[in-house]
């Protein structure tokens, strides 16, 4: 157990990510929550955007609310929509208050627009004052967003991808930890690209400035495997050799969502396309990924790429983005 920034919460350093709830039944969700309780995991993260995740978790948590800190999040950016989402979350989760409500996936270009009188942050402040939420956080796949959030003092937690091949948030996580901002790691297994879950978790938990990692888990066995790492997460020489190998294997064809490739002259949201392909191929969320892909504007989809190469010239990892976008089209459109 450790203190979660300055929130006053004390949490297990392995938490629970609610994305996979979408692909299992209510009965299986109950079993996962049972195992979380047995293993002492007390931090649960979900989102309005994870279809039935909030509802299933709400049903599973009845009668044991006090044993868990519950976090959820919303993509809403305006005042009225965020107010509405908070109420929906409370109803779905069947609780009187939410421990942590986060602004979900805030992009660098929109960060400065969320604080106005008619914008979402005001709704969060009012909900906090009313006791409907206890703390306010932010999540993003853009490093600039969380850097600004830490400096602003407006958010009590930040959530960002971090794993063996995505460690660009090292410095901002360190700064957040120093300032008492809680640090949450999403995508600890790089969206399933890393096969060795134990090593992936050890890599993250060996960083003292990271408060909690939230792997998605859809079976009791996965809960036991991930929490077992807490007994010893010191990296060995053999571990470091494996880590170097994983970085080498994934480093040439793995999108880290740094967003240096943007803006695309045609409007393609390149990292989002790769993210949705990952949900399709690694998370087993085929229908969900296709629906989200279709929800993108036509100009934002991979099929709108004209192969101008502007993105590849800006990618710090020299990824073959054009070919990768073709693969997105083959996966999500065909």
253 within some domain: no
The 10s digit of each residue's pLDDT in 258-289 is 777 999 999 999 999 998 998 898 778 899 99
Domain count, the chain: 2
pTM check: above 0.85: no
234 within some domain: yes
Report the alpha-carbon distance of residue 3 to residue 73 in Å, rounded.
21
pLDDT at 252: 65
The 10s digit of each residue's pLDDT in 4-17 is 999 999 999 999 99
112 within some domain: yes
**Same-domain pairing of 56 and 108:** yes
**Same-domain pairing of 192 and 308:** no
Report the alpha-carbon distance of residue 184 to residue 207 in Å, rounded.
12
The 10s digit of each residue's pLDDT in 91-103 is 999 999 999 999 9
**Same-domain pairing of 189 and 298:** no
**Same-domain pairing of 167 and 277:** no
The 10s digit of each residue's pLDDT in 20-40 is 999 899 999 999 999 999 999
**Same-domain pairing of 151 and 291:** no
The domain that holds 195 is classified in CATH as 3.20.20.100
pLDDT at 192: 76
pLDDT of residue 297 exceeding 90, the answer is yes
Sign of CA pseudo-dihedral 164, 221, 92, 287 = positive
**Same-domain pairing of 43 and 86:** yes
22 within some domain: yes
Hey, which residues does 69 pair with through a beta bridge?
43
324 within some domain: yes
Domain of residue 102, residue span: 2-242
**Same-domain pairing of 282 and 150:** no
**Same-domain pairing of 191 and 325:** no
The 10s digit of each residue's pLDDT in 170-203 is 999 999 999 999 999 999 998 777 889 999 999 9
109 within some domain: yes
Helix (H) or strand (E) holding 258: none
């Amino acid at each position: 157990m450790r203190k979660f920034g300055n929130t006053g919460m004390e949490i297990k350093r392995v938490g629970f990510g609610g994305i996979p709830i979408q692909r299992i039944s209510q009965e299986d969700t109950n079993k996962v929550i049972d195992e979380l309780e047995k293993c002492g995991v007390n931090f649960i993260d979900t989102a309005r955007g994870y279809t039935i995740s909030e509802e299933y978790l709400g049903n599973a948590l009845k009668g044991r609310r006090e044993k868990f800190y519950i976090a959820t999040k919303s993509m809403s950016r305006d005042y009225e929509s965020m107010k509405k989402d908070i109420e929906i979350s409370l109803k779905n989760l069947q609780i009187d208050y939410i421990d942590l409500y986060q602004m979900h996936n805030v992009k660098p270009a929109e960060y400065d627009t969320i604080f106005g009188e008619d914008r979402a942050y005001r709704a969060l402040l009012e909900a906090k004052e009313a006791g409907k939420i206890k703390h306010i956080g932010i999540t993003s796949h853009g490093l600039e967003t969380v850097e600004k959030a830490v400096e602003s003092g407006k958010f009590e937690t930040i959530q960002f991808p971090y794993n063996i091949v995505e460690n660009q948030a090292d410095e901002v996580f360190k700064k957040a930890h120093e300032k008492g901002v809680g640090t949450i790691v999403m995508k600890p297994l790089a969206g399933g690209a890393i096969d060795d879950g134990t090593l992936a978790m050890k890599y993250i938990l060996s960083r003292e400035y990271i408060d909690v990692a939230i792997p998605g888990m859809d079976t009791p066995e996965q809960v036991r495997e991930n929490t077992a790492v807490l007994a010893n997460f010191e990296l060995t020489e053999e571990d470091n050799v494996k880590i170097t190998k994983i970085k080498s294997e994934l480093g040439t064809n793995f999108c880290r969502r740094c967003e240096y490739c943007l803006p695309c002259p045609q409007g393609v949201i390149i990292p989002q396309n790769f993210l949705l392909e990952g949900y399709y191929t690694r998370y087993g969320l085929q229908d969900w990924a296709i629906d989200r892909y279709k929800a993108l504007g036509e100009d934002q989809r991979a099929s709108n790429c004209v192969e101008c190469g502007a993105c590849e010239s800006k990618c710090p990892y020299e990824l073959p983005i054009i070919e990768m976008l073709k693969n997105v089209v083959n996966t999500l459109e065909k």
